[in-house]
Chain A
Amino acid sequence: MDGAEILARLGERFGAAIRETHAQFGDHTAVVDRAAIGDVLAFARDDAALRFDMLMDLTAVDYLTYPGREDGPRFEVVYHLYSVTHNHRVRLKVPLDEDDPVIASAVPLWPIANWFEREVWDMFGIGFAGHPDLRRLLLYEEFEGHPLRKDYPVNRRQPLIGPRT
Chain B
Amino acid sequence: MPEMKGRTPVTAGASTLGGAPPESAPASAGRRQRHELFLGEGVPESGTENLLVNVGPSHPAMHGIVRILTELDGEVIVKADVEIGYLHRAFEKECETGPYNNCMPYTDRLNYVSPLINNFGFCSAVEKLLGIEPTERCHYIRVIMSEISRICDHLTCVGASAMELGAFTVFLYMIKAREYLWEVIEAVTGARLTISYGRVGGLKADLPPEFEGQMKRAFQETRTVLAESHKLLTGNRIFVDRMRGVGALGKDEAVAWAVTGPLLRAAGVPFDVRRATPYWVYDRLDFEIPIGEAGDNYDRYLVRMEEMEQSMRIAEQAFTALPGGPVNVDHEGRPFTPPAEYVDRGKLGKTGGLLLTDIRLSPNLRGQERPYHARVNAADRRTVLPAKENAYGSIEGLMNHFMLIMDGFGIRPPQGETYFPVEGANGELGFYIVSDGTDRPYRVRCRPPCFPPVAALPVMVEGEMIADLVPTFGSVNMIGGELDR
Contact = CB atoms under 8 A, between A and B. Distances in A.
Interface of A: 24-27, 29, 53-57, 59, 61-62, 66-67, 78, 80, 84, 87, 89, 91, 102, 110-112, 114-115, 121, 123, 127-129, 131, 133-141, 147-148, 152, 154, 164
Interface string B113-151: 000000000000000110100000000000000000000
Contacts of A87: 276-277
B445 A57 contact: yes
B416 A110 contact: no
B97 interface: yes
B240 interface: no
B430 interface: yes
A115 B2 contact: no
Contacts of B4: 134-136, 141
B257 to A, nearest CB: 5
B255 A53 contact: yes
Nearest to B483: A138
Contact of B85 (A53, A78, A111, A140): A140
Contact of B484 (A61, A138, A148, A154): A138
Given A91-B419, A154-B94, A129 B258 contact: no
Interface in B415-443: 415-419, 421, 428, 430, 432, 434, 436-437, 442-443
A116 B456 CA distance: 12
Contact of A112 (B94, B416, B452): B452
A84 B455 contact: no
Contact of A24 (B90, B417, B443): B417
A138 B85 contact: yes
A17 B255 CA distance: 28
A67 B277 CA distance: 33
B438 to A, nearest CB: 8
Interface of B: 1-9, 84-85, 88, 90, 92-94, 96-97, 128-129, 131, 255-258, 269, 271, 276-277, 415-419, 421, 428, 430, 432, 434, 436-437, 442-443, 445, 447, 451-452, 455-456, 459, 484-485
B419 A27 contact: yes
A67 B430 contact: no
A5 to B, nearest CB: 17
Given A91-B419, A112-B257, A25 B131 contact: yes
A147 B94 CA distance: 11
A139 B258 contact: no
Contacts of A24: 416-418
11 contacts: A25-B416, A26-B128, A27-B419, A29-B417, A54-B258, A56-B447, A84-B271, A111-B456, A134-B3, A136-B85, A154-B97
A66 B434 CA distance: 10
Nearest to B88: A138
A59 B430 CA distance: 12
Nearest to A112: B258
A86 B416 CA distance: 27
Given A54-B255, A66-B436, A66-B442, A138 B84 contact: yes
